[in-house]
């Protein structure tokens, strides 16, 4: 059961890294315009974007977590109590 719960942080981290990587690819693709920006502006793009990315990743983690809880609920309910 511990392995099932260990999946959740890795799933969240996957989405967080995915969003940051996509943002870096986007800025790299538009490198002509990105070059005009200051270093602090580019850092702000990643800094403020990280909060939005974490929020979106959390929303994406809700369904798998709910399914996980639904999958272990019958197991816990069927165990005999002493």
Look up the pTM and report it: 0.75
Half-sphere exposure in the Cβ direction for 75 (13 Å, CA)? 6
- Please tell me whether residue 37 adopts helix, strand or coil conformation: coil
Instruction: Write the pLDDT tens digit of every residue in 6-42.
Output: 888 899 999 999 999 999 999 999 999 999 999 999 9
The SS3 of residue 30 is: coil
More confident residue, 70 or 33: 33
Cα-based distances in Å from 57 to 4, 30, 45, 72: 18, 25, 17, 23
């Amino acid at each position: 059961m511990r392995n099932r719960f260990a999946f959740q942080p890795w799933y969240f981290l996957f989405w967080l890294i995915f969003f940051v990587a996509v943002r870096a690819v986007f800025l790299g693709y538009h490198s002509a315009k990105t070059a005009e920006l200051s270093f602090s502006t580019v850092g702000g793009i990643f800094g403020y974007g990280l909060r939005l990315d974490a929020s979106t990743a959390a929303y994406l983690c809700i369904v798998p977590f709910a399914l996980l809880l639904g999958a272990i609920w019958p197991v816990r309910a069927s165990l005999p109590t002493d």
